[in-house]
Each structure stands twice: as structure tokens, then as C-alpha cells.
Structure 1
Amino acid sequence: MNYTTQMDAARKGIITKEIETVAKKENMDVNELMKLVSQGKVAIPANKNHKSLDAEGVGQGLKTKINVNLGISKDCNDIDMELKKVKKAVEMKAEAIMDLSCFGKTQEFRKKVVDISKAMIGTVPVYDAVGFYDKELKDITSDEFLKVVEKHAKDGVDFMTIHAGINKETADTFKRNRRTTNIVSRGGALLFAWMQLNNKENPFYERFDDLLDICEKYDVTISLGDACRPGCIKDSTDASQIKELITLGELTKRAWERNVQIIIEGPGHMTLDEIETNMKLEKKLCHGAPFYVLGPTVTDVAPGYDHITSAIGGAIAATYGADFLCYVTPAEHLRLPNLDDMKEGIIATKIAAHAADLAKGIKGARKWDNNMAVARQKLDWEKMFELSIDPEKARKYRAESNSPSEEQCTMCGKMCAIRNMNRVIGGKDLNVLRDDD
């Protein structure tokens, strides 16, 4: 039986290799997974031309996934360095990589990323349009925007951020309700500018059916971009953000009618107490579609530490419904992340994702922590390193401590509670002051 997309296959009862792979990874019954994919509550981004893909699912009942942003820019045009980041991100088991390249030989880099990455690959085609055509934003036509989308689809990109929700109505809402930081989405700002300069409708909204033709052909998942995400605490959960979200919900239904998978992108900056409400709003207005969030960043005053402010928000967001976390690095708002920044961002986001999976009761999540608890009780350092989210750092810290005994570390020494409880319960002598064991 033939099928066009993973959603189409699921609706026809066809178990694709990608559905089978995800079911095994998630310890989920394949029929249960197919039902969720058929309903749009789980997306499996899997472009037909991405041959090296090891498929992942994003959505209801699945482990929270993380995405790593990278790519070349005019100020930092180093393809070799960005490829090193790709390889490291895959090594660190990031489930997705977004190539946000916006300058130079983007196709060359994009093809290399698709070829070497078993993680799903995302892009933002509007970033590429200016460089691809070597012409000013105002002069790019709607046909040309769609041709860039098709080029990315042919190259094997699994999901694309498309800012189709910032139509004329949303733009008018924004203009009537001014913000402190205006529109902080790069793609959203480009499309808003194009609309204003040309006095035309957003081409991705106006020609959404043409966009669906491309995505259905290659099985590209649309990640509906949040052009109006808040860029500061003061702008959160405002008229522009909610107006766009309503539009994204309408577009979601249109995509599902064509068997095109959808992910919804979300905020942004907001305070801790707003996160739960925002997650519930998205799930309600967008009919249970998977939710992909940047952060949320829970305070504006920590440049250099936004991997922490975003991990705090991400853990809460995923607990209350977000399915996919975009990593944020210490370099956010400051510069292009280097390799070390990327690693810190991945670790912080993986911690947030796993913390949420524990809270949501995701199958297998608690077992990982339980195994760590047993290793700690046994003072089995090698097992602790093996189970660590960042084994490299754990080993480094242990090696630097110069602890005189495997029964302790240099923080508590012989007053280590685990050491002493193990000795007392085991009927051994307990010495805390003497130098002998």
C-alpha cells in the first residue's frame, strides 16, 4: 500500500520503518503510536531524502526531545567549525539539529549536515532566501520564497520553520498593541518587513496550499514558527502572541487535511507563573499538536547564563505539555556560540527535558535515576560516570579531587553519610577521626 507521509501511513494502518523505530525507542505499542501520529498528536519528521536518519518522534506520551541550533553567518563563516558542532551534537545524542545558516554556501553546508547526521534536520528557509537569490528582501517574490522551501526539501530537510501565522491580521494586531522589543523572531521580522515594504500578504500564509504540496511530496514536517513570540518578560502572553497562536491552530487543521505533519513553535520570554497557562493554551488552540519551545527564558537579566534561565523554563514547560525543547546556550543574545557553549547548552537542555519526563511519568525515565541511586549507594564511581548526562565532566571533577579513598570524596571526607551508613549497616568499624581505614 502506498503512502505520502508518516501521517498518511498511520491513517492507512501502515507500519513504516520510522514508526517501528520510534515505537521501539519509546517502549510504546506500535498501534498506540500509529493512532497518535494519525491524530497529529505525535510527529515523526522524516524526509524521504534523509537516508541517514534514525527517526525520532515528538509529541504526546514520548520522551521530551531537544534541538541544537547552529549554522554559518556572514560574521562567522566557518563551515568546518559548524560541522564539528554537528558531529558533537550527534555524539551527545541531541535528537534534532537546526541549520540556521544565513550566508554563503548554505546548500553545500546543508547537504553535508543531512549526509552525516542521524538526527532529524530542521531549517528556516526564509533565512536562506536573501543569500540564495543575492537580492534585497523587498525584491524577493512569493514564487522565490517557495522555491527555497522546495530546495531545502529536496536536500533532505526533515522539518522547516515556516512563519505562516504572521498574516495581515496578526501584523495589524501587533501594530495596534506595541511592544517593548517588537518582533524578535528573525524570520518573523523578515516577513513582517517584506509585507510592509510590499504592502502584500505573507506569501507563506497566502500560498499555504502550495507550501503543503511541497511538504506532502517530500514528507516535510512544518514547524509553524512563532513570529510574535515575546522577546522580554514585559511582552509575554500579549495580544500579538495569542492572535498568531489562533492562526497557527487554523493552519494546523488545514495541514492535517493534507496529511502534512505539524509542530507548533512557542515562546519565548515569560515568568514562571505564566508557563503552565501558555502550554495549555497551545494544546487547546492547536488541537493537541506537538509543542516546540525556545526556553521559555524566565528572566531577562542573566546574559551569559541564559542556558540556565531557559533550562528552568524548559523543565516547567515540558512538565505541562511542551514536547520539544530548543536549546539555549550561554552565548544567547551575545554572540554565535562556540563548541563549548554548544555543549553547555545541550547539557542544560537535556537536564530540563529529563526532569520533565520524570514529572510526566514517561516510561523508562525513572529507571535511569533509580540506577544512579543504586550506584551512589554502592559508591560505584564507574557506574555513576556511565549513567551521567555528562560523563566527561563527572570524571574530570572526580579525578581532580585527589580523594584518598574510593569510599569518599573531598567534600565530606570520612563524614560521608553513604560511607558511614554502609559501614554501620554492614557491621564494620566506623572511624571518622583516625587516619587508618
Structure 2
Amino acid sequence: MSSRENFLQAAIGGREPPAVRMVARAEGISPAVLLKLVAAGRVVIMEREGRPPLGIGEGLRTKVNANVGTSADLVDPDGEVEKAIAAERYGADTVTDLSMGGPIDDIFKRIKEATSSPLTTVPIYQAVAEKGSFDSITEGEILQTIRKQVGAGASSVVVHAAITLDMLEGLKRSKRIMGVVSKGGSFTSAWMLEKGEENPFSTHFDEICGVLAERDAVLSLGNTMRSGCISDPMDAVQIAEMEMNADLAKRANDLGVQVIVEGMGGHVRPDRIPEYVALYKRRTNFRPLFVAGPLPIDIGIGYDHIAGSVGGAMAAGSGADYLCYITPSEHLALPDVDQVREGVVAFKIAAHIGDTMKYGPRLEDEMLARKRRERDWEGQFSLAIDGDRAMEIRSRRGTDGCSMCGKYCAIAVMEQHLR
């Protein structure tokens, strides 16, 4: 894999790479404006060789990520590849491979070959899976995993660098119900506590940035301390992590690395979502904000994709740039292909609502309304977020019109009487 042009350094130098023009065209934004946003760290551009680049950040459409990957208990590489294909088909902008079982390198390679979206990894997952225990992993092995995944074509990697031993001591004294719910964050924390050493990702931060800068891979700064239930408000350790991530983001940008900040995700009371988004955006100098969910209630298990899409829409409308989908299996099991589809569609809806809140109504909504007025079913299917689903429902009814109203369709009745 050859080195890619460093978009951040090019933008700071006033150069306009072809990928910037491609993203500007796709987003309907001026290339000059986009270049300034990239230079300021407010937009990142993810790219895979031979594939269209993707912009994430201020002034752009809200993007959706889908997680796939094997677990330690359920290893079906074919199924994970199928999930990645389904996620992309139904609108996921990026795919993250979280595999922790089976031939992890091969699974990533197969997902890469089967998809065209930017791919993200969480290196600590593979490091833990391959060693089987936290205390046997060396810092060198963690760094080697990052090099391997970036070299294999990861467009972005997630590291939980903003945790310190002092924060973990503070966590012991906290009154949280759920403690830590971030898996990557818990792995990193367990390594630190087992070894009695500070965070390997912050200790070797400059070296990690050097690896990413060489390939222009995007750094995603994970949030270990996010809330695991709506009864756990933002507390001192979460604020401390946010502050440290903000400083690390600036450091990474200074080293030529594009940065996304993960924050405010997990479970958040709905009335606090806009406030928390605004806080993260201000503190991180408006860098792209990635949000997992958030779930605004805890009792929606089995339907967390719906609850999460409500929280995701609120977060996107308040300024979040990038949503991580949730499936109906959240908190319960590894999702199947159908549940991946449901999660992606739910969060594409959330992203579209958020964009409507941020930027005003989208042309697609008006176009679909006109097709509905004309009873143009195929036209509606072509514009829908999940036209396949709409077509499946309609095909089961076996009538020319809508079977909900039949000959008493309100639109048809009033057209006849107002003609």
C-alpha cells in the first residue's frame, strides 16, 4: 500500500488535493471553504485507495458508522463479511471491524475486499484477543498492532489515550451505577491497572501519530468514561477525559494527523443531549464529534436501535457530526445481518433528521412528497432511505393503490372534487 497525500498538511499549506474537490462536490460546499475547515481540524477526510473519499465534520452531512466483527464466543467470518456488505448497502458511510475471534487479519482483509467504505479498527481489541490476557501484552505489541492495521488499509483507528491512573482512582470513588461500558476503554484500563503503568497510547502518542501521518489515517480519540445509563450524569472523570482528548487532538493535528473526537455517547438523558454536544464541540475547538447513540432511555432493550436513533437525531441536530449505529441486539447479543440492516436504517433516519435540524429540509423529502402525490410507487422507493423495505411491504398487499385507504384515498378524493 502506497503512502497517501496528507490532507491536513496540504490544507494548511493552501494546496487543494483532488479528494477535497471530490468531497466538496459530494457535499455541495465550496472547495475553498472545505479546505479551510480541514486546515482548522473541523473536518476530516477519510479515504481508501481507489475509492471515493468521505468528509466528516462541520457543515457536512451527518455520517453513520456500522460496527461488525466476530466475538470471542461467536466466530463466523462469512457472516461478518455479509454484515459489512449489508451495512454498506443500506447506507453506512463507514464500517468498523471489531473482530475478537478467529483469523482477525483475514477477516479484515475479506471485509476490505467486499466493501468500498472507509474502514476503522480498534487495535487494542486484536492485541487482547491474540494474547488472551491483559498483563501479557507489551507496549511494543500494541504499537505493532497499530502499524499492522494501518498498513493493511485501515482508514481510521480508535485509541483510548485519555485515561490516566489518577482518573481510574477517581473512578473507584465515583457513585456511577454502570462504571465503564467502553470495551476498548476497559481493555486499556485493565492493562494499566494490571501493569501499574500509565496509558500506553498517551505514552507513545507521538509515535502513533507518526504511523498514522505516514498513511494519512484518521485518529479517533475514544471515550472510556462515557455514561452507561441515563442515571449516570457527566462526572469529573468524564470531564477530565474530554479535556485530555481536546489537548491530544491539538497535539495530533500539530503532528499532521486528522482527528475525530469520540464523546457524549452511551446513555444520556434526552434533556441533556444538546447541552453535552455543545460542551464537547466548544472544548474540542469544533473538531468532528463522534457519538455512540446516544440512548436517551434504558428500558428500550430489544428496540435500542429505535431509542438510539431518537438520541442520535437529537445529537446530530445539536451539532454532532458522526453517529455510531445501535442494533436491536445492543446489550443482548451479537447482531445478525437483518439487525445490522435495521440499525443502519434507523441511524440513517437519525442522521437525516439531524441534518434537517441543522441545515433545513432536504430536497429528497420534497421530491418524495411529489411522488406520493402522484402515487408513483417506484419513484418513492427510489428516494426512500430503505426503498427495499418499502417495496417489500407494498408487494405483500397485491393492489394497485394503497390498501390502507383503497378507493377512499384522501389525496385522490380531494383531487377529484377540487378539479
* TM-score, normalised relative to structure 2: 0.96
Partner residue of 2:348 out of 329, 347, 350: 350
Once the two structures are TM-superposed, the CA of residue 184 in structure 1 deviates from its matched residue by: 0.6
* Counterpart-to-counterpart distance in 1, 2:97 and 2:42: 25
Question: Computing the radius of gyration over CA atoms, which structure comes out larger, 1 or 2?
Answer: 1
Once the two structures are TM-superposed, the CA of residue 14 in structure 1 deviates from its matched residue by: 2.1
Counterpart amino acid of 1:131? Answer: A
Query: Could you tell me whether the CA contact under 8 Å between 1:97 and 1:121 is conserved in 2?
Result: yes
Structure-1 residue corresponding to 2:266: 268
Counterpart amino acid of 2:217? Answer: V
* Counterpart-to-counterpart distance in 2, 1:116 and 1:219: 22
Structure-1 residue corresponding to 2:381: 385
Query: Could you tell me whether the CA contact under 8 Å between 2:327 and 2:343 is conserved in 1?
Result: yes
Counterpart amino acid of 2:271? Answer: D
Query: Could you tell me whether the CA contact under 8 Å between 1:8 and 1:259 is conserved in 2?
Result: yes
Deviations 1:104-159 (A, max 9, x none): 21111112222332111001000000233x35211211121111111111001011
Once the two structures are TM-superposed, the CA of residue 168 in structure 1 deviates from its matched residue by: 2.3
Counterpart amino acid of 2:116? Answer: K
* Counterpart-to-counterpart distance in 1, 2:345 and 2:115: 19
Deviations 1:38-76 (A, max 9, x none): 100001123xxx324321100000000000100112221
Structure 2 SS opposite 1:57: strand
Structure 2 SS opposite 1:303: coil
Determine whether 1:12 maps to 2:8. Answer: no
* Counterpart-to-counterpart distance in 2, 1:199 and 1:184: 21
Structure 2 SS opposite 1:293: strand
Partner residue of 1:418 out of 407, 411, 416: 411
Determine whether 1:401 maps to 2:397. Answer: yes
Query: Could you tell me whether the CA contact under 8 Å between 1:307 and 1:344 is conserved in 2?
Result: yes
Once the two structures are TM-superposed, the CA of residue 24 in structure 1 deviates from its matched residue by: 1.2
Structure-2 residue corresponding to 1:432: none
Structure-2 residue corresponding to 1:430: none
Gaps of 5+ in 2: none
Following superposition, which runs of at least 4 residues in structure 1 exceed 4 angstroms of deviation?
none
Structure 1 SS opposite 2:403: coil
Partner residue of 1:148 out of 138, 142, 145: 145
Partner residue of 1:257 out of 242, 249, 254: 254
Structure 1 SS opposite 2:362: helix
* Counterpart-to-counterpart distance in 2, 1:135 and 1:277: 40
Partner residue of 1:233 out of 223, 230, 246: 230
Structure-2 residue corresponding to 1:78: 76
Structure-2 residue corresponding to 1:279: 277
* Counterpart-to-counterpart distance in 2, 1:91 and 1:349: 14
* Counterpart-to-counterpart distance in 2, 1:128 and 1:178: 31
Counterpart amino acid of 2:340? Answer: M
Structure 2 SS opposite 1:139: coil
* Counterpart-to-counterpart distance in 1, 2:277 and 2:170: 22
Query: Could you tell me whether the CA contact under 8 Å between 1:43 and 1:262 is conserved in 2?
Result: yes
Query: Could you tell me whether the CA contact under 8 Å between 2:4 and 2:215 is conserved in 1?
Result: no
Deviations 1:274-324 (A, max 9, x none): 100110011011111100111100111111000001000000000001000
Query: Could you tell me whether the CA contact under 8 Å between 1:3 and 1:9 is conserved in 2?
Result: no
Once the two structures are TM-superposed, the CA of residue 4 in structure 1 deviates from its matched residue by: 5.2
Once the two structures are TM-superposed, the CA of residue 172 in structure 1 deviates from its matched residue by: 2.8
Structure 1 SS opposite 2:231: helix
Structure-2 residue corresponding to 1:89: 87
Once the two structures are TM-superposed, the CA of residue 410 in structure 1 deviates from its matched residue by: 2.0
Check 1:295–1:388 CA distance in 2 against 1; reply closer, same or farther (3 A cut): same
Counterpart amino acid of 1:319? Answer: G
Check 1:4–1:172 CA distance in 2 against 1; reply closer, same or farther (3 A cut): farther
Partner residue of 1:193 out of 190, 194, 207: 190
* TM-score, normalised relative to structure 1: 0.92
Structure 2 SS opposite 1:296: coil
Structure-2 residue corresponding to 1:309: 307
Counterpart amino acid of 1:220? Answer: A
CA RMSD of aligned residues (A): 1.5
Query: Could you tell me whether the CA contact under 8 Å between 2:323 and 2:351 is conserved in 1?
Result: yes
Structure 2 SS opposite 1:270: coil
Deviations 1:363-407 (A, max 9, x none): xx610001011111111111111111111121122222233x43x
